[in-house]
Structure 1
Amino acid sequence: MVWFAIPFLLVINLWTIVCFCQDKQRAIARARRISEADLLTLAAIGGSPGALLARRWFRHKTRKEPFSTRPLLICAIQMGLALGFWIL
């Protein structure tokens, strides 16, 4: 199981960073955007570190509420679940 989790997390986090970068570029170009639901879904399935890094690197969606709070909430839930599984 662990041998699968690490590559999956690397790929999903890289994909999340790419999606945030694309969304920022589309915002600048006033083109069709990637939905916030899609960006949050990527964070929820394991890309939360990538989402937090990308928001900071690209200065993208840093002031928009509730989007500013939701990636942090997702990350906190994931850390709680990981800690819970580790303790069991």
Structure 2
Amino acid sequence: MMLLTIYLIIINIIGFLLMGIDKRKARKQKWRIAESRIWLVAIIGGAFGATAGMNYFRHKTKHTSFRILLPLLTLVDIGLLIWYFYFLS
């Protein structure tokens, strides 16, 4: 259980930072982080961090897929965590 908590903290920090780094690169017109990489991090548990980063940095907020699916994925992640801790702990 402790490893899961550490993993989720780290992957969500990564999701948050990816949004910030990609926003900075977009402003400087440099090579960007692939959207597929951001989605991968979100799918493997970093959806909350990516959503927080999207809102904090105001990045990808015009992309309907990010604006709608990232918060939904966050809710799915929270639901899975509740299920895990309630039924498996």
Fold conserved between structures, TM > 0.5? yes
- 1:57 paired to 2:78: no
Q: Distance in 2 between matches of 1:53 and 1:33?
A: 19
Query: Within 5 A, what are the aligned runs for 1:7-46?
Result: 7-46=6-45
Aligned residues: 87
Contact in 1 for aligned 2:26/2:32 (Cα 8 Å): yes
Cα deviation for residue 29 of structure 1 reads 0.9
Q: Deviations over 1:26-85 (max 9, x none)?
A: 100111111111111111111111111111111111121222112112112222323333
Q: What CA distance in whole angstroms lies between the structure 2 residues aligned with 1:19 and 1:51?
A: 7
Q: Structure 1: how far apart are the matches of 2:13 and 2:85?
A: 25
Contact in 1 for aligned 2:19/2:50 (Cα 8 Å): yes
Please say if residues 18 and 50 of structure 2, whose CA atoms lie closer than 8 Å, have aligned partners that are also in contact: no
Give, in whole Å, the separation in 2 of the partners of 1:74 and 1:53. Answer: 12
Q: In the alignment, is the contact (CA less than 8 A) between 2:48 and 2:74 conserved in 1?
A: yes
Alignment TM-score, normalising by the size of structure 2: 0.84
Q: Could you list the runs of 5+ residues in structure 1 that have no partner in the other structure? A: none
Q: TM-score, normalised by structure 1?
A: 0.85
Query: Percent identical across equivalent pairs?
Result: 28
**DSSP-derived class of the 2:30 partner:** coil
